[in-house]
Amino acid sequence: MDFGTVIIVVTLVAAVVGLLAFIGSGKAYESIGKGSLGLDGHEQDIRTRGPALETAAGRAEQEAELRQMLQAKSDRREARGEAALDIDSELTGLLASPQSPVPGDPALREEVRQLVVARNDRRIARGQDPLEVEAEIDRQLKDVGG
């Protein structure tokens, strides 16, 4: 046999072996990335895990997790030679509801007002009812924590 024939025979044999390996793998390729560590399809599970924050169990879980994070932060500060955090006062500050409805920077409030007015103009152009400007400003500032 000459060299060209050997190349063709080896290529054909390799193609047949590759085809048999692919067919024999079954659904192995479909399961790649689908195990317990995969991220596909787990979005719903993440949102529904644990008690709702409005329940007593949810608030207790929130407090326990915040306490753990603050303790870890305090431990890291101590390891660097800094003063330890007062965990209880930090936790109280984090869990306290804001006293004023929307504190904030007047410039930020004016910028949000401009955005709300522009949104209202677009809503009116589409034939929708405009939003109440002050209420929408307060809502947006609460959403961003400003």
User: pLDDT digits over 56-114, tens only?
Assistant: 888 889 899 999 999 999 999 999 999 999 999 999 888 886 554 455 678 888 999 99
Q: Is the pLDDT of residue 23 over 80?
A: yes
Half-sphere exposure of 44 (CA within 13 A, CB side): 1
- Which residue, chain included where needed, has tokens 């009116």? 124
Q: Is the pLDDT of residue 36 over 70?
A: yes
Percent with pLDDT over 90 in the chain: 47
Q: Looking at 3-144, list the stretches that DSSP marks H as alpha helix, in order from N- to C-terminal side.
A: 3-24, 43-48, 56-79, 87-95, 106-125, 133-144
State the amino acid at position 143 in one-letter form. Answer: D
